[in-house]
With several copies, the nearest count.
Chain A
Amino acid sequence: MTFLEHLTPSDETGMIRDAADKWAAGISDADVRRSGGFAPGRWSEMAAMGWHGLLADPDHGGLGLGPDALSLLCQAIGRARLPEPFVASSVVCVGTLTALGQDVTALVDGSAIAAPAGFGLPCDGGPSGVTATAGAEGHNLSDMIDICESGPDTSEFLVATAGGDGLFRLPRSTPGLTITHYGAIDGRNLARLSFDGPVPADALIATGDAARAAIRRGTTLAVSALAADATGTIEKATELTTAYLDERSQFGKPLAAFQSLRHMVADLLVELEASRSMAELAAFAASDDGDPKHLHDRVRARICRAAQSVGQNAIQLHGGMGMTDEMAIGHYFRRLIFLQAMMGQEAGALRDRATTLARDIEMQREVAQ
């Protein structure tokens, strides 16, 4: 597929987008607040529409679609700022497991929820890994994973070992696994995982190159989904802000009549278009099995900056009202903070890209000499 073709959604992809937009538009801000970190009803509705299996093979009840459709769906999820672990379970875990030919039927039908640990979310994996040493009947796992997107409803974990040369699939009830729950800045559920002890032999589902390829696939899908989620969030934050400016008055005229505020709105739109472009690029670059890191680092960096800039300026444009929990905008702001952390922050993404650029420059220096 060329990029131009990619820009024109297929009929099937278009249907996903329309359904997602319609469904998400029916979810009110109050609904989302009420549900806390997870609404079982919404998870079931998503299952009914087949979305948990978007990336899964038809054999496992999946739709067999790709990053294009995923991107549109995640934009709708971002717009509605749904807190469910869709990216964690239905994108990273389903995508990774599908790449390994694993059974994902329970994840697809919504009866199970999985969480990636040590890879994918955050998309640079995070600061601690789990070490596995071969034991008598399987492996002994030890060490901690500080950030894992999982809540009380999570039924299984997909755990990457440090270095990425092993991938374990572990049920929640695995002995030696301690789960400490805490909340994310945007209200969703997170946990710290601690491993200590042996796990059954069949828990190790991939090793070596196969594990690394599957982890890379999960990470690629995560970047693409997070970019789309952030783009939807930015889009909605922009809309909330323009509506507020049109509605509220100060000094006897609508806020939207002040040129300085109008120009800040213009900058929101520029950031939004940059995000949309990067979300398109992220999805396109994720459309095969290659490693799009050289593009995805730029996507992460640019979208993190847009998220930062739009979040902060949307609050500023709301004035004092933007500081209140009552207004939706603060919730979108916090979601954008969460998404930046998951994408490694602009500084981290640029650092990753800079490492590659430094290598390029070094190679050119050698060629020139």
Chain B
Amino acid sequence: MPEVRDHDHGAPAEERDHIDLLLDDDLRAFRRDVRAFLRGAVPEETRNRIDRGYAATKSEIADFLAKLSARGWTAPAWPVEYGGTGWTQLQRMVFSSELARNAVPGIPPFGVSMIGPVLYTFGTQAQKDTYLPGILSGKDFWCQGFSEPGSGSDLASLRTRAEDRGDHYLLNGQKIWTSKAHYADRIFLLARTDEAPRKQGGISMFVLDMDTPGITVKPIIAIDMNHSLNEVFFEDVKVPVDGLVGERGKGWNYAKFLLGNERTGITNVGRCRRQVERLKRLARADLTPGVDLSKDGAFLRDLARVEADLTALEITEIRILSQGKNGPSAMTGPSVLKLASAQIQQTLAELIVSTLGLYAAGRGAGFVDAFDDIGDLPSDFVDGALNEYLFGRSVSIYGGTNQIQRDILARSALETRP
């Protein structure tokens, strides 16, 4: 076992964390390589903006994906034959944590983590040939058409229909919460192809191009007053027959397969670790006169408590990834991770906003322009923190609300069915 020692106080904050202590020398070297690459690949200005809570722009993401792709690192988890890296689970965890720790744009999940694995697992050779290269190169942006108005967490009640017209399916309906649809090139979606006795039956999965005639994208402005979500309308859209993924009527299975992949990728521990460092920085910013937070037992306890929570979450994630005998099961693990990580992410954002004190009252470009800095902080730090707090309320909603996750966990532990 490596020597367990305390932080190396001289090093920049983001270099130091205790995950390092859990790694062996090879993984630590790997981590340094990843870090060096990421910092070289993304301009510091971009990383600063992202660090402050702003979303990366499409061009920033595209530039980053091009560099990742050149290095062969776009889709680490894919089988090597399809372009994966062959890394171990822990290497992938380290990589993913470094993406967040270094505030690079991040890899959009829709292609790499969601539809990609569905296609190489269930798709036809033609689908693999058509779609996988664009995902790996970062050229194609994807979006996901699952949720519908009124269906929310209850995906199986969806009403979008794909009618079999022989040489094509005729698609009619509406999707909602479609993240990044406004700049996506392609979409994968669920639609009802047959009536079936069980609600989940008769649902199929399709892939198609976003420039197919009949598709309209309408922005949803979110409570952070930004645009990343959309409604997508389908009006007599002709989907070629080879847009059907796998078997007709099995869309529900593919969706579960795909969402299972999603749920292990959402702990955001790297970002959380960075937020802990941001809180420490806030403690030094002297935002409230007469209050030195670094000597305020109440603030320090909040910080220590969320740090302990985060440590537990990191270990739980490792336990799940290592698939050890004593880890949570494949059924409960993702829900445990999602509940714990939602709690931590939201607590961190809340602590940051609380610590901003009265500056949490102002927001937007005018606010950023009106201040050069606030205390020791750049004014967009404050604005971005509010961004993140507001949009971060969705962490306990998307991908199955906290309530749905609790339903799942309860089902695993109780014999009684509700």
Contact = CB atoms under 8 A, between A and B. Distances in A.
Given A274-B312, A323-B397, A122 B358 contact: yes
Interface of B: 1-7, 9-10, 13, 18, 21-24, 27, 90, 147, 150-154, 157, 176-177, 220-223, 225, 229, 280-281, 283-284, 287-289, 291, 294-301, 303-305, 307-309, 311-313, 315-316, 318-319, 322, 324-328, 332, 335-336, 339-340, 346, 350, 353-364, 366-367, 369-371, 374-376, 386, 389-391, 393-394, 396-398, 401-403, 405-410, 412-418
A326 B221 contact: yes
Given A181-B370, A182-B364, A266-B406, A319 B153 contact: yes
Given A2-B27, A280-B319, 19 more contacts: A7-B326, A8-B322, A127-B375, A191-B370, A250-B153, A251-B157, A262-B406, A277-B316, A278-B312, A285-B21, A322-B397, A347-B301, A350-B308, A354-B297, A354-B303, A357-B300, A357-B304, A363-B9, A367-B9
A263 B367 CA distance: 39
Nearest to A278: B312
A316 B362 contact: no
Contacts of B415: 246, 256
Contact of B296 (A183, A238, A265, A351): A351
A338 B363 CA distance: 10
A248 to B, nearest CB: 7
A6 to B, nearest CB: 7
Contacts of A60: none
Size category, A interface: 35 or more
Contacts of A312: 346, 393
A180 B370 contact: yes
Given A263-B406, A302-B312, A185 B398 contact: no
A338 B361 contact: yes
A299 B307 CA distance: 11
Nearest to A354: B300
Contact of B340 (A191, A274, A280): A274
B3 A290 contact: yes
Given A266-B410, A276-B319, A357 B303 contact: yes
Given A320-B398, A350-B301, A365-B294, A285 B403 contact: no
A263 B410 contact: yes
21 contacts: A3-B22, A3-B318, A9-B325, A183-B364, A190-B362, A250-B150, A251-B157, A256-B415, A262-B406, A270-B339, A273-B336, A284-B22, A294-B6, A295-B18, A295-B311, A315-B393, A320-B176, A324-B220, A326-B221, A347-B299, A356-B6
Nearest to A331: B223
Nearest to B221: A325
A242 B409 CA distance: 12
Contact of A288 (B1, B220, B311): B1
Nearest to A185: B363
A147 interface: yes
A341 B150 contact: no
A36 interface: no
Interface string A320-344: 1011111000100110011011101
A183 B402 contact: no
Nearest to A308: B350
A202 interface: no
A46 to B, nearest CB: 23
B298 A350 contact: yes
A171 B409 CA distance: 51
A361 interface: yes
Nearest to B294: A361
Given A298-B307, A326-B220, A361-B283, A1 B229 contact: no
Contact of A287 (B1, B287, B339): B1
B370 A192 contact: yes
Contacts of A323: 222-223, 229, 391, 393-394, 397
Nearest to B311: A298
Contact of A319 (B9, B327, B401, B418): B401
A338 B311 CA distance: 24
A319 B403 CA distance: 10
A139 B361 CA distance: 31
A368 B277 CA distance: 14
Given A182-B364, A190-B362, A250-B153, A358 B300 contact: yes
Contacts of A320: 147, 152, 176-177, 394, 397-398
A324 B223 contact: yes
A348 B361 CA distance: 14
A90 B157 CA distance: 52
Nearest to B13: A364
B212 to A, nearest CB: 25
A269 interface: yes
Contact of A147 (B313, B359, B391): B359
A272 to B, nearest CB: 9
Contacts of B300: 354, 357-358
A220 to B, nearest CB: 10
Complex A-B, nearest 9 residue pairs according to Cβ-Cβ distance, in ascending order: A256-B416, A330-B223, A262-B410, A354-B300, A266-B406, A277-B315, A182-B366, A266-B409, A341-B361
A72 B198 CA distance: 45
B403 to A, nearest CB: 5
A257 B418 CA distance: 4
B263 to A, nearest CB: 14
A274 B223 contact: no
Which of B6, B308, B327, B346 has the largest count of A CB atoms less than 10 A from its CB? B308
Nearest to A259: B418
Nearest to A147: B358
A308 B353 CA distance: 11
A267 B406 contact: yes
Contacts of A251: 153-154, 157
A340 to B, nearest CB: 7
Contacts of B396: 316
A362 interface: yes
